[in-house]
């Protein structure tokens, strides 16, 4: 099993009529997202949930880590939500034990 350490699992998903490649988040990345979720839930900032979406996407979408907040503001919010939900589902974070 040691030979699998650091291996990345990816799949292509639909985003805005095109395809992007997402990767399954590691345990440490999942833990980071869980902490960010707790902070966003407690935050009184109007941008907390959008910032959380941005972090999820930057972590899990191939080539998205260079996107600026201004870049994210050009995407429809519903599309970002859908993409984030696909990422969370693929990483086993939604619906209990539904890891794909």
What is the sign, positive or negative, of the torsion defined by CA atoms of 94, 91, 71, 19?
negative
Higher-confidence residue: 94 or 24? Answer: 24
pLDDT given at position 95: 59
Predicted model pTM: 0.85
Given a contact cutoff of 8 angstroms between Cβ atoms, the answer to whether 20 and 12 are in contact is yes
Q: Count CB atoms within 10 A of the CB of residue 85.
A: 14
Rounded distance between C-alpha atoms, residue 48 and residue 53, angstroms: 9
Residue 94: pLDDT band by 50, 70, 90 thresholds?
confident
More confident residue, 71 or 41: 71
Q: Which domains does the chain have, with CATH numbers?
A: 2-90 (3.30.2220)
């Amino acid at each position: 099993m040691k030979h699998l350490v650091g291996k990345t699992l990816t799949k292509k998903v639909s985003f805005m009529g095109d395809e992007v490649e997402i990767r399954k988040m590691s345990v440490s990345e999942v833990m980071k997202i869980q902490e960010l979720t707790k902070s966003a839930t407690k935050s009184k900032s109007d941008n907390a949930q959008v910032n959380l979406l941005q972090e999820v996407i930057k972590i899990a979408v191939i080539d998205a880590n260079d996107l600026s907040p201004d870049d994210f503001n050009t995407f429809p919010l519903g599309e970002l939500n859908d993409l984030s939900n696909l990422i969370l589902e693929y990483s086993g974070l939604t619906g209990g034990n539904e890891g794909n």
